[in-house]
Structure 1
Amino acid sequence: MFLLAAGEPQKPLTPVLPEIVIGLLAFGIVFFVFYKKLLPAINKALDERHEKIEGGIDRAEALQAEAQQTLDEYREQLKDARHEAARLRQEAKEQGAALIAEMRAEGQRQREEIIAAGHTQLEADRKQAALSLRQDVGKLATDLAGKLVGESLEDHARQSRTIDRFLDDLEEKAESSGVAR
């Protein structure tokens, strides 16, 4: 406004000196307030945010490392468990095979005992039958011989000799006919 009164022509792009001074003074006051009050609060918030971000990254890296370590431990435990299971399976197979072999041996032993007992019993029964048959045949032979001879063969010693001689003759005939066949 002063320039208009002085009569000088006004230049639209040239600022007036008092406006420049007032503008610089107002800018300085605003800058000082921002610098003293607002800038420390902004820096503090930025520092806190930076610390949170850095701390979060560090925690995330630590958690990731811990998770990887835990995963490795689980994999190792799983590997050990698989090896243990394979070992136990192998032991069970070996024990099963040993048990089967033992049971077969026991069955074979029992079978042999039963066969031996059967042979023994069969031999005892054969001897008993032969003795019984010998006595019955002897009695019949004595009775028949007594009827043929016409005398009694009741004398025990004579009867026994006669029976034994008769049966021995029968056995010889049976053996000779068995050998001839």
Structure 2
Amino acid sequence: MLNALVTAAAEEHNPLLPATYDIVWSLVCFVVILVVVWKVALPKMAKLLDERSAAIEGNIAKADEAQRQAEAALAEYTAQLAEARKEAGEIRDAAREDGKKIVAEAKDTAHTEAARIQTAASSQIEAERQSALVSLRSEVGSLALNLAGNVIGETLADDSKANGVVDRFLADLEASEKANH
């Protein structure tokens, strides 16, 4: 039986192996499809991939250029910002100096004005003192003469000699006051 099976299998066609004409026609179809793909589809795909690659490289170059421009703009902005900060510092310093000058000028003006007012007040006080002294001398002199006249019983107001005595007495009195101070 085994012998019969082997003999039957040798005579019959193996179902795992295709027929020769199927292999030949499949090979022809495969070669045609391979040639079409090789000659038509692959060049188109290569062209499409090259275009895509060029577009990507162009976009990368544009991105790199944009990055360089952005970095340059950032550097310029940073430089401008530093310059603006420096100018702001200079302006603040100048304002402080101007403020100090204004304060110093105001102090000088106030000191000058105070000295002027003090001088004017001293002059006015001296003038009023002199005026009071003259007024006081004449009143003290007339009172002394009236008192002496009342004591003597005669009028001494017209006598110039009496006026001289009163003036000399007041001058001696002033000199003794100045000597004490």
Kindly indicate whether residue 175 of structure 2 is the aligned counterpart of residue 172 of structure 1: no
Aligned equivalent of 1:136: 139
In the alignment, structure 1 residue 145 sits paired with structure 2 residue 133: no
Task: Give matches, 1:60-99, under 5 Å.
Answer: 60-99=63-102
Match of 2:103 in 1: 100
Please report the TM-score for the alignment, with normalisation by the length of structure 1.
0.80
Query: Percent of aligned positions with the same letter in both sequences?
Result: 36
C-alpha distance in 1 between matches for 2:180 and 2:108: 43
Q: Relative to structure 2, which stretch is displaced further, 28-37 or 64-73? A: 28-37
Q: Kindly tell me: are residues 76 and 165 of structure 1, through their superposed partners in 2, closer, same or farther at Cα, counting changes over 3 Å?
A: same
**Distance in 1 between residues matched to 2:171 and 2:18, nearest whole Å:** 163
Uncovered stretches (5+) of structure 1, i.e. residues with no partner: 1-6
* Other-structure match for 1:4: none
What SS class does the counterpart of residue 155 from structure 2 fall into?
coil
Q: Distance in 1 between matches of 2:65 and 2:58?
A: 10
Q: Deviations over 1:113-138 (max 9, x none)?
A: 01100100100110111111112112
Task: List 4+ stretches of structure 1 deviating above 4 A.
Answer: 7-17
Q: Secondary structure at the match of 2:154?
A: coil
Contact 2:156-2:162 within 8 A present in 1 as well: no
Q: Is the 8 A contact 2:137 2:170 kept in 1?
A: no
Which of 21, 25, 28 is the equivalent residue of 1:22?
25
2:38 matches 1:31? no
* Structure 1 range deviating more: 143-152 or 129-138: 143-152
Structure having greater relative contact order (Cα 8 Å, sep ≥ 6): 1
Query: 1:178 deviation in Å?
Result: 5.1
Alignment of 1:116-127 (within 5 A): 116-127=119-130
Question: Could you tell me which amino acid in structure 2 is paired with residue 34 of structure 1?
Answer: V
Secondary structure class of the residue paired with 1:89: helix
Shift of residue 13, structure 1, vs aligned partner = 8.9
- The answer to whether the 8 A contact 1:142-1:162 is kept is yes
> What code does the residue aligned with 1:134 have?
R
Structure 2 residue runs of 5 or longer lacking an equivalent are: 1-9
